[in-house]
Structure 1
Amino acid sequence: MKHSIQILTMLGCMTLVVPLAFAHSDVENPMVYDRIHAMEDMEKDRVTLSDMVQGRRGFDALAAEQARARLIRNSNAIQSLFKSPQMDPKTTALPLIWDRWPEFKAKAKTMQRAAKRLDVSSQTAVQSGLRELQAACQACHQVYRQSVN
């Protein structure tokens, strides 16, 4: 069980953090910048919680609750951040988002529910909820985000 969580964490970090490391450089469109910033914030919070689960960081109830609150706030903003089909040369968002808008909205709602259901009362509780949260991230990113090599 622990190994499967470690693998999910590593995959999540590789597919989410690497593109974000370069996400802000030279973004011209302010709406795209806001989207990237929100996604980057969610990834930072996911990593914070993942580090607690993996023992790379001690469990901190306050930090976990703050991460959860930001995840809820940012996941609630996903639909409004993506509602307008804004593009930028630096975005990894695919136009497929707007071609399949109802499906995208459904995936965004899944992320909202996962963030709201996330129990941060203990390391064990975070571990359980983190799987659902990461699955929601991946389900959307696999379809609506271009791969970055």
Structure 2
Amino acid sequence: MMGLDDDLKLMIAMAKGEKAMDADAAQAAVQRIKAGTPEIATLFKAPETDPKSEALPTIWDEFDQFTTLAQELEQAAAKAAPTIQDRPTLAQAVANIGGACRACHRRFRK
């Protein structure tokens, strides 16, 4: 999941103008996010005993909802990839993908 975070951070930096806009790099980042999201649920298949985990215990009680939110992230990334052409379209993609991330983090992350 750290790779997904790195890709989103890259996109945010480009959208804010902190890094040069590179539509190809942004589209590649979105594609990596899309490709990585099906693995999210598999990372949480067994009750977490890792003391470094940031997952809340509710993840196990509401695992179907957690999986649904991961799928929504994948869908947001799939919709965003072909639209990225410039900073405004990248900013919209970041808003949609970031919103999907936040929906899950608010519910299932410490």
TM-score, with length taken from structure 2: 0.89
1:98 and 2:36 aligned: no
The whole-number CA distance in structure 2 between the counterparts of 1:116 and 1:68 is: 8
The whole-number CA distance in structure 2 between the counterparts of 1:78 and 1:43 is: 12
Identity across the alignment (%): 31
Q: Equivalent of 1:78, from 18, 21, 40? A: 40
Higher RCO structure (Cα 8 Å, ≥6 apart): 2
Could you tell me which amino acid in structure 2 is paired with residue 98 of structure 1?
A: W
1:41 and 2:3 aligned: yes
The whole-number CA distance in structure 2 between the counterparts of 1:123 and 1:106 is: 29
Could you tell me which amino acid in structure 2 is paired with residue 104 of structure 1?
A: F
Match of 1:12 in 2: none
Matched-pair contact (CA < 8 Å) for 1:68–1:120: no
The whole-number CA distance in structure 2 between the counterparts of 1:104 and 1:84 is: 13
Q: Where does structure 1 differ by over 4 angstroms across 4 or more consecutive aligned residues?
A: none
1:109-128 equivalent positions in 2, closer than 5 A: 109-118=71-80, 119-128=83-92
How large is the RMSD of aligned CA atoms in angstroms?
Answer: 1.3
What is the aligned length? 108
TM-score, with length taken from structure 1: 0.67
Q: Which moved more, 1:84-93 or 1:49-58?
A: 84-93
Gaps of 5+ in 2: none
Match of 1:132 in 2: 96
Matched-pair contact (CA < 8 Å) for 1:49–1:64: yes
Gaps of 5+ in 1: 1-38
